[in-house]
Structure 1
Amino acid sequence: METLTIKTPADVLSFIGHTLGFWPIESLVCITLRDNRVGATLRVDLPKPGAELSYARTVAGYLAHDADAGSVLFAVYTSAPQVPGRARPHAATIAALTGALAEHGMTIRDGLLVGDDTVSEYDGDPAHCLSLPLSATQSSQINAEFVYRGSTIEATDRVVLPPSTKESRNADAVDRRVQAIQNLNILDALKQARDLWNGMLESNSYPDDEQTVSLIAELQCPAIRDHLMAEIPGIDEPLDRILLAQTRGKPQWSRVEWAQQLLVHAYTLSSTRHSAPILTAIAFINWWEGHGSKAHQFLQLALEADPGYHLAKLSDQMIGSGMVAGWNMDKATAYRGRGLEA
């Protein structure tokens, strides 16, 4: 693939947008640099006042996992006003980040301040520095190249699910299947579920409605659910290490992507009372891939469907604490589809 050359602020913003897949809002985005080559891209929500130091240490810790990186390019996306003669928005955050990166032997190469309509150099004086309209990103060379390759930038990272059948005839069929599963020996039930799920993962077409109903029912059983989720990456290691993305082996990312499509398909055929396990499994996939904010949204949808769903509650606490999937801490195992979020 042809090497892309980033030359202008518009190129940087286009690169960020296409790498993440959406336009950041109230965010800090950092790109690690290895000599003059781009490394990892990280997006995080901007911190609350008073939390800048711990926030900066966490961000620097994530960036330091790119062992080859020596410097960082950042962009602050905010609607906060820029007042001439006063510090730039979130100056305390950038000051703390500068010190935290220095502890890891890294420096800040450059920074951008991205407002609602313009972009400018972060360190420039608001009264004198040049601001460019954000519309310039649409005509940037980088944007044109990404669009040519089929990439798009969504306005936000908000999750949009296809319509579900909600309270359909499938609900009773799922309940009957759950009862049948509970009447089986757990080992037999688990084998049946794993055989069905692996057959779906190895297929190149969607399952029929009867198979999908069986999958929905099997996901209602926590012991079976956890094993089915652990089957997704295609790694033969302990279940807990797989679910927490702390394996030695690399996930089969194409298999993971297909699993999400299968689960979304199952969601469209599920009732509200059966959808929480499906949405939670989709959340794990997004977390594994480095899409922390989307994982949170899927978990919130799971809790809307079932406010007492234990795995969704625990997982949301884990992701909300800033924990990043271990696979994304190593470029050899990280998902390459998009940038990393925390």
Structure 2
Amino acid sequence: MEMFTIKTPADVLSFIGHTLGFWPRESLVCITLVDNHVGATLRVDLPQPGAEMSYAQTIAGYLAHDAEAASVVFALYTSLPPEAGRSRPHAATIAALTGALAVRGMTIRDGLLVGDDTVSQYDGDPMGGPSLPLTSTQSSQINAEFVYRGSTIAPTNRITLPASTKETQTADAVESCMESMQSLNVRDVMDRARTLWTEMLDAKSYPNDEQIISLIANLQFPTIRDQLMADIPGIDEPMDRVLLAQTNSKPHWSRVEWAEQLLLHAYTRSSTRHSAPILTAIAFINWWEGRGSKAHQFLQLALEADPGYYLARLSDQMIGRGIVAGWTMDRNTAYRNRGLEAS
């Protein structure tokens, strides 16, 4: 891939939008710089008043994982308007972040304030300083390059699930499959489930209805569910390390992408009472890929389907504490150099 040259605020915003895949709202986005080259991109929801110090420490900790980075560029997205004679929006947050980065030997090179309609320098004159309309991003060179390569920017990061049939017939078939599994040897059931899942992951087309029913049934059993999730990245390391994205090996990301499509396909054929484990597995994939806010949304949908689903509730608490997947913290294992989200 050719190198991009970022020259203007419009270029910066276009780069952020295409890297994240959506237009941020009420967010802070930081980009690390290594010898004038872009490093990691991190998006985080803006903090609540009074939480600026801990928030800044957390962000600085994430950015410091890019060991070669010496400086940071940020863009603060907010609907709060700048006012003459008053501090810039979220000034306490930026001040705390400046100090937290300095402790780690990093500096803030530049910052942008992104409102609903315009973008300006964060440290500029709120009323008299130059500003650009956000529509200028559409004509930026960076945007043109990304669009040419097939990239798009969604207006928000809200997920849109495919339509689900929720057929009673499918639900009954899944229940029947689960009953037959309970009469078999545990090891045999696990081996069959893993063999079927491996065949699906290695295939180039969607499975038939009988295979999908078996997959949905397999995912209803926590032990099998965990193993099938751990099989997704194609890494031969302990299950707990794979699930928590703390392996030495790099995931096979094309395999992970296909697994998500298979699970979404299974979701469209699952009943509500069987969909929680499917949605939870999809949430893990999004978390592995650095999409914390989307992972949260999938976990919330899983809990709507089954309010008592333990893995979804535990995982949502983990993500809510700002824990990110280990793979995303290393540029050699991170997913397609996409931006990282910590919500």
Give the TM-score category using the shorter length: over 0.9
Match of 2:134 in 1: 134
After superposition, what is the alpha-carbon deviation per residue over 1:225-261, rounded to whole angstroms, capped at 9, x for unaligned? 0000000000011111110011111111110000000
Secondary structure at the counterpart of residue 108 of structure 1:
strand
Match of 1:286 in 2: 286
Does the 8 Å CA contact 2:167/2:269 hold for their aligned counterparts? no
Matches within 5 A, 1:45-56: 45-56=45-56
Matches within 5 A, 1:263-342: 263-336=263-336, 338-342=338-342
Amino acid across the alignment from 1:285: I
Match of 2:186 in 1: 186
After TM superposition, the score normalised by the length of structure 1 is 0.99
Which structure 1 residue ranges, 5 or more long, are not aligned?
A: none
Does the 8 Å CA contact 1:167/1:272 hold for their aligned counterparts? no
After TM superposition, the score normalised by the length of structure 2 is 0.99
Match of 1:233 in 2: 233
Amino acid across the alignment from 2:142: I
Match of 2:122 in 1: 122
Amino acid across the alignment from 2:18: H
Hey, what's the Cα distance between the residues in 2 that align with 1:64 and 1:34? 12
After superposition, what is the alpha-carbon deviation per residue over 1:275-309, rounded to whole angstroms, capped at 9, x for unaligned? 00000000000000000000000000000000110
Which structure 2 residue ranges, 5 or more long, are not aligned?
A: none
After superposition, what is the alpha-carbon deviation per residue over 1:118-153, rounded to whole angstroms, capped at 9, x for unaligned? 000000111221010000000111101100000000
Does the 8 Å CA contact 1:21/1:154 hold for their aligned counterparts? yes
Hey, what's the Cα distance between the residues in 1 that align with 2:293 and 2:184? 38
Match of 2:27 in 1: 27
Secondary structure at the counterpart of residue 298 of structure 1:
helix
Secondary structure at the counterpart of residue 324 of structure 1:
coil
Match of 1:147 in 2: 147
Secondary structure at the counterpart of residue 142 of structure 1:
helix
Hey, what's the Cα distance between the residues in 2 that align with 1:68 and 1:23? 28
Q: How many residues are matched?
A: 342
Secondary structure at the counterpart of residue 125 of structure 1:
coil
Secondary structure at the counterpart of residue 109 of structure 1:
strand
Amino acid across the alignment from 2:303: L
* Divergent runs of 4+, >4 A: none
Match of 2:83 in 1: 83
Amino acid across the alignment from 2:133: P
Hey, what's the Cα distance between the residues in 2 that align with 1:213 and 1:127? 61
Amino acid across the alignment from 1:332: N
Hey, what's the Cα distance between the residues in 2 that align with 1:60 and 1:185? 50
After superposition, what is the alpha-carbon deviation per residue over 1:156-183, rounded to whole angstroms, capped at 9, x for unaligned? 0001000001143100000000111111
Secondary structure at the counterpart of residue 169 of structure 1:
helix
Hey, what's the Cα distance between the residues in 2 that align with 1:167 and 1:204? 26
Does the 8 Å CA contact 1:53/1:93 hold for their aligned counterparts? yes
Matches within 5 A, 1:37-52: 37-52=37-52
Amino acid across the alignment from 2:144: A
Amino acid across the alignment from 1:178: M
Hey, what's the Cα distance between the residues in 2 that align with 1:182 and 1:89? 59
